Structure 1
Amino acid sequence: MANIHPTAIVDPGAEIDASVTVGPYTLIGPHVKIGAGTTVAGHVVIEGRTTIGRDNRIFQFASLGAANQDKKYKGEPTELVIGDRNVIREFTTFNVGTVQGGGITRLGNDNWMMAYTHLAHDCLVGNHTTFANNAQLAGHVEVGDWVILGGFTTVHQFVRIGAHGMTGLGSSLLAHQPPFVMSEGQPARARSMNFEGLRRRGFSPERISAVKAMHKALYRDGLTLEQAKAQIATLTQTIPDAQAEVQLMLDFLGRVGPDRGIVR
């Protein structure tokens, strides 16, 4: 049996690996699944159809898998899926998805979710992200790998944040933020690219040069978005090592419609 504190209330229908630790006064519902090595502190509530992977560390007072805050939600069997090796700090609130939004709210692997962070319904968060205290996502938001959200960042519904991006303290994102971009403000505006983060992750000078060229095309050359995309597509001719970065940017921009645009 898992190491479950005697004051915890765990529904018999829950599937909990024998190596899981559950702290005092925690409540775990009947449709919850928790993988090996995960620790759940005291006073945590895990409910709904919530699946949690391996080696996560969940701190006290977290609320995971509660009914979402969409008025259309009528109790349908939607899900929250959490991957492996995440740190989920105090007073975090992650809600299940909606039928209209695909049915799943998802957090990937190796994420660092600080106190009071919120994942609304149907959010899709990648791997290796950091959400500082009080970072808040509205419904249907997508966050790429290695993104860092500054404290008190708020993200409008249906907004996407590309991989390796970053926001400053108290930013309000109302438009899509392309990969590598650093933004700040209310509303958030693009300020630079996350060059220091790329260097720390081992990006070569050539790949970083390609990111600089993409920043120039998007923000400094006075081009339309279509013109910038065409210019970015040519970068692999001069910087072959940047194929992955160029494709990442083009894939992201290819999904940008006129309704929301990108941060400027």
Structure 2
Amino acid sequence: MARIHPTALVDPKAELDDDVEVGPYTLIGPQVRVGAGTRIGAHCVLEGRTTLGRDNRIYPFVSLGLPSQDKKYAGEPCELVIGDRNTIREYSTYHIGTVQGGGVTRLGNDNWMMAYTHLAHDCVVGNHTIFANNAQLAGHVQVGDWAILGGFTVVHQFVRIGAHAMTAMCALLFADVPPFVMAQGQPAQARTMNYEGLRRRGFGPQRIAAVKAMHKAIYREGLTLEQAVARIEALVDAHPEAAADVALMRDFLAGVDPQRGIVR
């Protein structure tokens, strides 16, 4: 049976799986579903159509599933969906989606979300990401797997951050950050690729070499984005081990909004 502190207010219609723990003074609304093994700390608020998977750790004063801060939101049945094994630290705020953005704000699995992080409406965050303190996403932002956002990173609406990318502290993003890129500044600029992070994740020398070649094509040879994509696609012949990495970059660049562009 779920272990609920006597001071917590859990609506009878809420669905809490086995081994869920709910701390003191926490409020859980009627449309909330929580998977087995999840622990929810004191003074949290879980409202709206909010679903949490298994084995999440929610620290005190977290707010999940409240209406978005989009003035267009008019009470439509939108959702917040959180996967498994996420750590969400104090004072983080994640809102439900909007009809205009597909209706769902989504956080994947195995993410490490530090204090005061914010996911606005319709954001989609992948797996194994790290958000340092006060990393803030505006609406409709997409973040790929294994991305790392430095403390106080601020991301403009509709911006995309590719897999394995990294931002420095206080980065201000108005443009997309391609996979593997390290970005810094206000506004952020591309500095290098996240080579050390890739090595720690098991990328071998050949894959690292392909990432270096992609960085050169995008940032060092004066090519247009279309020309860079063509150059990147040709890397598979020389680096067959990096075929998936090349495809990841190619597909990301194919989806860049010409008016927004990428960090330069």
Name 1:20's counterpart in structure 2. 20
| Alignment TM-score, normalising by the size of structure 2 | 1.00
1:54-73 mapped onto 2 (5 Å cutoff): 54-73=54-73
Distance 1:18 1:143 in 2: 31
Distance 2:123 2:257 in 1: 19
Distance 2:18 2:242 in 1: 45
Name 2:256's counterpart in structure 1. 256
Q: Deviations over 1:30-55 (max 9, x none)?
A: 00000000000010000000000000
Distance 1:10 1:144 in 2: 34
Distance 1:170 1:68 in 2: 24
Q: Deviations over 1:142-195 (max 9, x none)?
A: 000000000000000000000000000000000000000000000000000000
Distance 1:105 1:188 in 2: 25
1:18 CA displacement: 2.2
5+ residue gaps in structure 1?
Answer: none
Q: SS where residue 100 of structure 1 aligns? A: helix
Name 2:148's counterpart in structure 1. 148
Name 1:132's counterpart in structure 2. 132
Moved over 2 A (4+): none
Q: SS where residue 245 of structure 2 aligns? A: helix
RMSD of equivalent CA atoms? 0.4
Name 2:41's counterpart in structure 1. 41
1:222-241 mapped onto 2 (5 Å cutoff): 222-241=222-241
Aligned: 1:2 with 2:5: no
1:257 CA displacement: 2.1
Name 1:243's counterpart in structure 2. 243
2:52 maps to a residue whose letter is I
Distance 1:190 1:54 in 2: 36
Q: Deviations over 1:69-97 (max 9, x none)?
A: 00000111100000000000000000000
Distance 1:108 1:205 in 2: 29
1:258 CA displacement: 1.1
Distance 1:248 1:212 in 2: 14
2:68 maps to a residue whose letter is N
Q: Deviations over 1:95-146 (max 9, x none)?
A: 0000000000000000000000000000000000000000000000000000
2:179 maps to a residue whose letter is P
Aligned: 1:209 with 2:209: yes
1:59 maps to a residue whose letter is Y
Q: SS where residue 99 of structure 2 aligns? A: coil
Distance 2:170 2:126 in 1: 22
Distance 2:195 2:12 in 1: 50
2:159 maps to a residue whose letter is V
Count of residues in correspondence between the two structures: 264
Distance 2:239 2:211 in 1: 10
Distance 1:106 1:184 in 2: 26
Distance 1:232 1:18 in 2: 49
1:24 CA displacement: 0.4
1:75-224 mapped onto 2 (5 Å cutoff): 75-224=75-224
1:126 maps to a residue whose letter is G
| Alignment TM-score, normalising by the size of structure 1 | 1.00
2:66 maps to a residue whose letter is A
Q: SS where residue 237 of structure 2 aligns? A: helix
1:18 maps to a residue whose letter is D
State percent identity of aligned pairs. 72
1:257 maps to a residue whose letter is D
Distance 1:42 1:118 in 2: 19
